[in-house]
Every structure is written in structure tokens, then in C-alpha cells.
Structure 1
Amino acid sequence: MPQGGGAACSKKDQRIHKNKPTTDESDVRILFCCVVSHRSRNKSETSRRWTDACLGRCGERSECGQPTDMDAVGRPRSGSPPRKRALMNLRKGVVVGSMVFALVGVLASPPLLLASDHTRAKELLQQTCVHCHRLEGTAESRFKLHAPDLIWAGSKYQRSWLIRWLTGKEAPLYVKGYLWDLTNVPTKHPIVTEAEANALADYFAEHKKDPRVTGGAFDLSKVTKFEVKFGAATYKAHACLGCHTIEDNGKLIGGPQSAALQNAGQRYNPDWVYRFGQNPQDFTVHNGEFLADATDPQLRAVIGYLMVQGVPGFQYYEPWTSPEFSKTDVGRGKVLYREYCAQCHGLTGKGDGPAASGLEPKPAIHANMPFDKLPIEYLYNVINHGGVAVGKSPNMPYWGLTIGQQGVADVIAYLRVTFKGIPEAASSAGSEPSAACVQPRKTAMAPNDYLTRTNPVPASAGTVRAGKELFLRTAQPIACVMCHGEQGDGKGLMGGALVPPPRNFTCGEMMSEIPDGQLFWIIKNGSPGTGMTAFGGMPDEQVWQLIHYIRSLAK
């Protein structure tokens, strides 16, 4: 029995159709019957009789009540009068044309065949879903809702996730239930069949689209690894952890009061999430979300952070491999540097621009930095996203929106060609530590609960090796060696550009006076008034490993 459920064509009919080299009325009728019988969902006696009539197997009269002068395969019977045969041929032409037209309609109009699926979807929605979900209307207060609105479900959810959810293959979205109260009993969602889930997904896609959502507004293929880290920091800064659980460094963090977001990348469509983030109150009034105060780069970073959740092996975009970086122009970069960068960094990169006097910390001295040796990823992030984005001073603006991607690429090209750093600093790697030991600092003291902490990670050769790997290579957004040098003496490639200079970790006298908790606090939060980057995204265990290695450098 064919999948469609109708009566199959007989082997005789199929053989006739297969063996005839030309197409006449009988071919068309047999082909049409085969299609209809395979597609038909009606197994009634009426359907079978209609099929038999179509194939001409019902004797002298067809099922439509008209006499026929054709044999079983549609040939005129012998002895038919010429006039009668002419009329019969005319009628045959009309029948053939009608059958061809109907056949094309059946093949080209799948929505007609899916009408019953849409009907079933509407029945499910009206009989079950409406008891909790709203299917129509405008934004309503969160306190008046019993379940998430499905008004925009066709734009909000990814189809594959929606089907898994409806068939009971996904974990509960609201661990404590949807209602904003102190209950801890989640509502058990009804489960439907695979076919019903597909029908509902089709219905949502056709009837529950959000006209406010612009397709392609958020390009998931352009999400960078740095933006995801920046998004994580912004997400936490907006107190999202108070309601949502999410995965962070392999651990589940946050509160279970609202939708779990650890698999958000499999669940939501990024264009819808982006529009939601622009003003959540447009969707659910009094919902506690306030991402609307975030800048567009911050919002996009948060969306990127959410969309990689639950997506193993996500392919991050590397903007320095984009076409803009293959067509850089040093001349254009020089013009941009003079128009924007020189205000603080000076025309010759000595950090003496007209705006430098009012800044604390002072601008980096580009003339002392070997830009051709610095990681392209770091240069791109600090110029495109600004100082705060890499844990540095907010005095460094984010220039990506102002000069564009081509401008960022051109400025980097100019920096790399123009500034080569201090020769003696570049050759100091491996030399004896500087005689300068105790360095004056205005670093703020960590809170008391940090100052009293001691390193909880046991000291061992393996721990020190792990810290060394972070120091020299893997710490993000930039390895410590770039400023503090291979010896930890503050003579890294970027060290000569910073005012004040980086810490000299080889100074035992100074390091012995800095508690573990203070070091932990500075690494996590940076040091205002200096060039010390904040490594807020580094896991605590790695910070403690790094502290073990730093202490091993002291003399």
C-alpha cells in the first residue's frame, strides 16, 4: 500500500503505461489515477470506484453515468459511426485536457494536500494550547501570563528545537514553572506525536510570524570569539543571572526563575532575539528585562553569547581574515590616525596629543610598541571594540562604528608599518631583571573578603606549569608576557608603551607585600590608572594557577 493511503494502480495498468511508447488519453488517465491513488488519503469505496472508472474498467458505462464507446484501455470500439467517433474524440480531448490540468494541480499544490495537517494543528491549538498560551493580541504584563506567548512563535523558535520540545525530547524551560512566584513545581508540558509537532511548526511558520523582526538583522556567521566573551560580561553586568541559568566555563550559573538559556543557541532564532533585546517591553510588559539601555555593540555581543549556548564546535568569525584586510591602504590609515588617534596618542605616537593631559591613565605610547609583533586579534579588538572591551581604560573609545571595518584594517596597517618599538626593549628578553624593584602604585585595595583569601590551589610543579602556559601563551584577551616580559620584569613588547610601566614580578621585596587575594582581585578586575587588563573571564582556578607562577618569578 503506498504511503498516501489510496488504492494502488494494478500491475496491468502499470504495465500498459510502461510499454506504450506514445502518450494518449489512456496514458494520461493511468498516470493520473496512479498519482491520485498514491496521494489520496481517502480509502473509501467511492474512491476505489472512481479510480476504476478512470481506468475504464467499469464496463459499458463510466461512473459518471455517461455511455462509452471505448474499450478497457481507451481505444474506440470497432463499428462506431464516424460522427459518433468524432464527437467521442472531441470529448476525449476535453477529458485529457481536464486530467492534465488536474494532475498539474495535484503535483504543484502541496498546501492542498496538507490541509488536514493545518486543521489538526488548529485543533490542537484550540483544544490544548490556548488554556495556557496566548495566540493573539499585543504585549501583556508578565504578571498576567500563564505561559509564554505564542503570538510570535513562527519567528521566535527554531523549527528543529520546537519539534523536539513538543515531542517531549527537551528539558523543561522553566525549572520552577513560568509563574513569578516562589513555587518550585514546573508545569508538565503536553506531548504530541512527531506528525502533530511538524504540523504545529508549519502552522506557526505560516501564521505566527512577527512583522517587527527583520530577516538577516543579526548575522550569526559574523560572531567572533571575542564578542562572545564581551557579551558574557555585558550579560552579567545587566543582572541577567538573577533569573536565567546559563553555562559559563563548563558550569551552570544563574537563577532558575525564568527561561533556562544554556541551550539558547538551539532554541531561538537570532533575528528575533536581537529585536527582543532592542526593547523587551515591546513583547512582555513588566518582564524585568532592561537590555534596552545597552549599546548596539553590547546588545549584539550578548546575542552572540546566547546563540553559542548549546552549540558545540561553533565556528567563530575572524574579522582580520575578511576582504577588508586584504585591501588595506597605509595612506588611508595615516589619514585616519591623524584625524582620530592623534588627539590622544599624538601625531608621532608619543602619547602627547592635545587631549592626553586630561586623561588618567595616560594614552599608550605607540612609538614604543612593535605593532608588527603584536597579535592581530588583540589589535583588532582594542581598536574596534574599545578599551573597556579588553579590560583596559574606558578612555580608549571603540572605533568600529565610526571608521568602519575598512578603517580599522587601514589603521592597523599604518601602525604596523610606522611603529616598530624600542630596540633595546625588544632585545631585553632573557637579560637580567631591571635594578628598579619597588614601583610606586596607586592601585586600589581589594575588598576585605578578597584580601583575606589565600591561594586554595595546592602548589605543585604541575600547577606552576599551568600558570606559566597562561602567562606566556594562552591568557585572554592577551598573554601576560606581552607587557610583563618573559622574565616577568615588566620588559614585554608592550611594556615600554605603558604609563606607569608594568609590574616587575621579579622584585621579591614588593611581591612579598602583596596578598594572594589582592593579586586575584587585580587579575580579575584590572588596575585603574594603569595599563593592567582585566581578565574577568578567566576561571578562578586558572587565576590561582597564574598566581603560583607569578610568585615563582620573585627573586
Structure 2
Amino acid sequence: MNTFTKAIAAALAFALTPVAYAGTEAFVAENCAGCHALSRNDAGSRAELLGPPLFHAGAKFRKDWMVRWLQSPTRIYPAGWFPPRHIESTPEGDVIDAASLVDHPALDAERAQAVADWLATLPAPEGVELSTDYTPAKVAMRMGQLDFRRFKGCVACHRDEPDSGGVSGPELYTAWERLQPGYLLNYIGDPDAWHDQPLMPVLEMNEQAVQKLVNYLYTIAETQP
């Protein structure tokens, strides 16, 4: 069974599993492991997965966001978790093969809350210390855009607004709503600590430069209607 077929089977099982399934941890293992790594030992090759690893979800995602997103999923990775599987080369350039992407199934409110509660217990990787003394501050939007798009080149892989920017990484115009500040600060500085095979390069930035990027993501969130 190939990865795409496994994903379809997992999605069907996810949607059809009754709410009375015995235990949230068992539900996650049964329905999520087909697309996500639930432990670092299960991470394997990036090409074997259809979604990001979840073994550090409690230190990465905001729980209230997880509850909402699991009920009404939207695409975070424009070209999927493994972009080469979903990108087609054309005379006009690379385009996303939308038909090859698998939608995440939605959960009802009760199950979404239970799954989010369980995921929120999963800690940061061993040895990672998350910053707790960061206070977000707005930056001038124009300067933040220049820093993100030109000076640091983040736009090559990420989008800071819909339909504008790279597709090999997650979109970041909803990053502040989705991700914990401590995760953003630590991951930007040391992605290797979170994944064994990150596509994110290790950028030589001091703490002030990292905070400037995170402040830009905060500013995007604060200026959205």
C-alpha cells in the first residue's frame, strides 16, 4: 500500500471511528499515525509522512487553535508536507497538483477538544528550553516585510500573506494564531533540535534578529481584520 493509499484509508478510518472509541490516546494512535509521527523514533523519512510530526505538539501549537482547527481544518502547507510529491513542472514553472493533496478530516467538537487536550501534553524535545520572558511588540509592517522577504529570504519557502511566497514550508500569515511564541523563538534559531530532517536551514541570527521575525508574525496577526 503506497503512502497516498494509506492516507485515504487513514482519513476514512478517522471519519468513521465512533466518538465512543476507547480512549483519546488510542484514538490518536489509530487514526493519526498513518500520516503523522507520534514519537521521534517513528519519524522516519519525511517522504513517508503526509503531515508534520506531532510528538512535540504541546510545546508547538496553541491548544485553543488546535481545538478550532481540528473541527474546521485548513491547509497549512500549500504543497503538502513533502512538496516533491505534489509539485509538477510546467513550461510556465512549477505548479501545485491540488488533486494529489489529501484534506485533513474534521472532528466534532467533543472529539476535537479531547484530541487537543491529549496533544497539549506532548513536551518539547529533550534538552530544548522554551523562552518564557519574551514580550511581543509590533514592528513597522513595511520593515517587517523587507526583513522577511528580502533580508532573511523567508519568502523563498513561506508565505506571509495568502497566495504570495514559497510553498515548501508552512504558511506563516496565521503563525501567531497557531504557534506558541516560545516555539517560534526556539525553532527559528535551532530547527535541528525539533526535527531530524528539517527543511528549515539553520540561520545565523542573534536573539534580537529572531525576535524581530517573530514580532513581524505578531504584527501580521494584529493587523488582520
SS across alignment from 1:131: coil
The Cα of 1:120 is off from its aligned counterpart by: 2.9
Q: Does 1:120 align with 2:19?
A: no
Q: 1:312 to 1:255 in 2, by over 3 A?
A: same
Distance, in Å, in 2 between the alignment partners of 1:118 and 1:217 is: 40
Return the TM-score normalized by structure 2. Answer: 0.73
Q: Which of 187, 190, 204 is matched with 2:105 structurally?
A: 190
Deviations, residues 313-362 of structure 1 (Å, cap 9, x unaligned):
79xxxxxxxxxxxxxxxxxxxxxxxxxxxxxxxxxxxxxxxxxxxxxxxx
**Residue aligning to 2:146:** 233
Deviations, residues 45-75 of structure 1 (Å, cap 9, x unaligned):
xxxxxxxxxxxxxxxxxxxxxxxxxxxxxxx
What aligned pairs does 1:341-360 form with structure 2 within 5 A after superposition? none
Distance, in Å, in 1 between the alignment partners of 2:118 and 2:75 is: 23
Q: Does 1:258 align with 2:174?
A: no
Q: 1:121 to 1:156 in 2, by over 3 A?
A: same
Q: How many residues matched?
A: 191
SS across alignment from 1:246: strand
Deviations, residues 84-140 of structure 1 (Å, cap 9, x unaligned):
xxxxxxxxxxxxxxxxxxxxxxxxxxxxxxxx9995321221111011111112676
SS across alignment from 2:80: coil
The Cα of 1:214 is off from its aligned counterpart by: 2.2
Distance, in Å, in 2 between the alignment partners of 1:299 and 1:253 is: 22
Deviations, residues 361-396 of structure 1 (Å, cap 9, x unaligned):
xxxxxxxxxxxxxxxxxxxxxxxxxxxxxxxxxxxx
The Cα of 1:162 is off from its aligned counterpart by: 0.8
| Larger Rg, first or second structure (1 or 2) | 1
The Cα of 1:161 is off from its aligned counterpart by: 1.4
Q: Which of 183, 204, 213 is matched with 1:302 structurally?
A: 213
**Residue aligning to 2:135:** 219
The Cα of 1:262 is off from its aligned counterpart by: 1.5
**Residue aligning to 1:129:** 32
**1:158/1:267 contact within 8 Å kept:** yes
Q: Which amino acid in the other structure matches residue 186 of structure 2?
A: R
Q: 1:144 to 1:182 in 2, by over 3 A?
A: closer
Distance, in Å, in 2 between the alignment partners of 1:218 and 1:141 is: 34
**Residue aligning to 1:149:** 53
**Residue aligning to 1:243:** 157
The Cα of 1:298 is off from its aligned counterpart by: 1.1
Deviations, residues 228-252 of structure 1 (Å, cap 9, x unaligned):
65443332233221221212xxx74
Deviations, residues 198-253 of structure 1 (Å, cap 9, x unaligned):
111111222x0215242514322xx1324x65443332233221221212xxx742
Q: 1:135 to 1:219 in 2, by over 3 A?
A: same
Return the TM-score normalized by structure 1. Answer: 0.32
**Residue aligning to 1:166:** 70
Deviations, residues 516-539 of structure 1 (Å, cap 9, x unaligned):
xxxxxxxxxxxxxxxxxxxxxxxx
Distance, in Å, in 1 between the alignment partners of 2:66 and 2:28 is: 14
Q: Which amino acid in the other structure matches residue 119 of structure 2?
A: F
Q: Which amino acid in the other structure matches residue 305 of structure 1?
A: Y
SS across alignment from 1:287: coil
SS across alignment from 2:203: helix
Structure 1 moving runs of 4+ over 6 Å: none
**Residue aligning to 2:8:** none
What aligned pairs does 1:88-103 form with structure 2 within 5 A after superposition? none
**1:229/1:305 contact within 8 Å kept:** no
Q: Which amino acid in the other structure matches residue 148 of structure 2?
A: Y
What aligned pairs does 1:119-518 form with structure 2 within 5 A after superposition? 120-137=23-40, 142-168=46-72, 170-181=73-84, 183=86, 184=97, 185-206=100-121, 208-210=122-124, 212-220=128-136, 223-226=137-140, 229-236=142-149, 237-247=151-161, 252-312=163-223
The Cα of 1:266 is off from its aligned counterpart by: 0.8
**1:234/1:298 contact within 8 Å kept:** no
Could you tell me which runs of 5 or more consecutive residues in structure 2 were left unpaired when the two chains were aligned. Answer: 1-18, 87-96
**1:235/1:302 contact within 8 Å kept:** yes
Identity among equivalent pairs (%): 21
Q: Which amino acid in the other structure matches residue 296 of structure 1?
A: E
The Cα of 1:180 is off from its aligned counterpart by: 2.4
Distance, in Å, in 2 between the alignment partners of 1:209 and 1:118 is: 25
Deviations, residues 177-205 of structure 1 (Å, cap 9, x unaligned):
22121522322112111111111111122
Distance, in Å, in 2 between the alignment partners of 1:155 and 1:124 is: 21
What aligned pairs does 1:14-33 form with structure 2 within 5 A after superposition? none
Q: 1:128 to 1:311 in 2, by over 3 A?
A: farther
**1:238/1:290 contact within 8 Å kept:** no
The structure with higher relative contact order (CA 8 Å, sep 6+) is: 2
SS across alignment from 2:52: coil
The Cα of 1:304 is off from its aligned counterpart by: 1.2
What aligned pairs does 1:102-113 form with structure 2 within 5 A after superposition? none
Distance, in Å, in 2 between the alignment partners of 1:129 and 1:224 is: 37
Could you tell me which runs of 5 or more consecutive residues in structure 1 were left unpaired when the two chains were aligned. Answer: 1-115, 315-555
The Cα of 1:141 is off from its aligned counterpart by: 5.3
SS across alignment from 2:36: coil
Distance, in Å, in 2 between the alignment partners of 1:150 and 1:299 is: 24
What aligned pairs does 1:3-82 form with structure 2 within 5 A after superposition? none
